[in-house]
Amino acid sequence: MASMAAKLSAVLAVAALSATGAHAADYYAGKTIDLVVSNAPGGGFDIYARTIARHMHRHIPGNPTMIVKNMPGAGGARAGYHISTVAPADGLSIGAIMPGTVMAPLLDDKPDTSFDPSKVLYLGTANSGTYVCVTFSHSKIKTLDDALSQKTVMGGIAAGNSTNDIAYLVKRTTGAQFNLISGYKGTSEVTLAIERRELDGTCGWNWSSAKSQKPDWVRDNKLNYLAQISLQPNAELTQLGAPEIWRYIKDADDRKVAELVVSQQSFERPYLVAQGTPAELAGILRNAFDATMRDPQFAADAQKTGVDISALPGARVQTLVQQLYATPKDIIERAKQAIRP
């Protein structure tokens, strides 16, 4: 029933555009766009969404109101389901989900099937992240080459968290002798354990999080950068001497596995609309998202808020997700095994 209503709304939206000669300002004037966030208020994804909402409406013809609504649950699938199936596909509902929500149907043993991330339209991503594997200055492990021959005690949180999944991935694809101590409640506890010398370091730490959580570690050169992990090199990390993980992954199939798992960092904070959204409206919203990412006022606000912006356009995110879902099943099964204890 909800799907039928969404389709009808989309048809009416197309009719409204056609009737006005496709004047988007006539369509969006006086309307409200819901920006539905798959996380609770106050977290990073919520902060990003609210920062974007303060500016994106100015780049949509007709200057509609944009309201952020939080809809956590089911690992992000609840918000994804709402946008893709429940809300009308009329260009008035945008979803903000986690990259793990996109990956879950591929890598989870018992995925939530209510939301299909391959069947939505992506407006873009506000951030493309990079993971790091690091040790602290007190550790005798200074490089990944050291870790290939010596036990390295790394801190993790839980299965499904990048500090676990990436640590296991690096261990299995490079031969690094990581001994993962899991169960910490968050990266703040991991860093405290590192300072207490309980751990050598951690792997799968998001670089932007590392900089915001421990800027003094970066500033005072207290970190040994074993590897940077992303599909594209991070210029800042390269300058700091962090090697790309790919030089250590020799097997071609292992590299495919690693690329599959790591690819979610390319769309760290994706924004999307329902697949049935009229092309005209989807195009307007994609253009508005891109314009927001280039907006000096938005950039200043993001810097003030502590939001790290490294955007990709919707078409690029769409292609990345399509490529992910075209991954051969044997590679997906190997990836599942590579990130498990």
Average pLDDT over residues 242-264: 94
Residue 246 confidence (pLDDT) above 70? yes
Contact 107, 26 (CB under 8 A): no
Domain with CATH 3.40.190.10 in the chain: 131-263
Tokens of 338: 């590579």
Fold of the domain built from segment(s) 2-128+268-326: D-Maltodextrin-Binding Protein; domain 2 (3.40.190)
For residue 134, give the 3-state DSSP assignment. strand
Pick the CATH number of 131-263 from 3.20.20.70, 3.40.190.10, 3.40.50.970, 1.20.1250.20: 3.40.190.10
Average pLDDT over residues 83-100: 95
- pLDDT recorded at residue 58: 97
Alpha-carbon torsion (192, 197, 201, 207), positive or negative: positive
Q: What is the DSSP letter of 244?
A: B
Task: Report the chain's mean pLDDT, rounded to a whole number.
Answer: 90
Average pLDDT over residues 314-340: 93
Domain with CATH 3.40.190.150 in the chain: 2-128+268-326
Contact 258, 183 (CB under 8 A): no
- pLDDT recorded at residue 19: 41
Average pLDDT over residues 158-179: 91
Beta strands in 63-200 (DSSP E): 65-70, 93-96, 120-125, 131-136, 152-155, 178-181
- pLDDT recorded at residue 12: 58
- pLDDT recorded at residue 9: 55
- pLDDT recorded at residue 3: 56
- pLDDT recorded at residue 215: 86
Contact 178, 167 (CB under 8 A): yes
- pLDDT tens, position by position, 121-166: 999 999 988 999 999 999 999 999 999 999 999 999 887 778 898 9
- pLDDT tens, position by position, 104-126: 899 888 888 899 999 999 999 99
- pLDDT recorded at residue 20: 40
Q: pLDDT band at 75, cuts 50/70/90?
A: confident
Beta strands in 174-258 (DSSP E): 178-181, 201-206, 223-229
- pLDDT recorded at residue 6: 53
Average pLDDT over residues 259-276: 92
- pLDDT recorded at residue 111: 83
- pLDDT tens, position by position, 7-57: 555 555 555 554 443 467 789 999 999 999 998 887 778 888 999 999 999
Average pLDDT over residues 169-194: 94
Average pLDDT over residues 291-297: 98
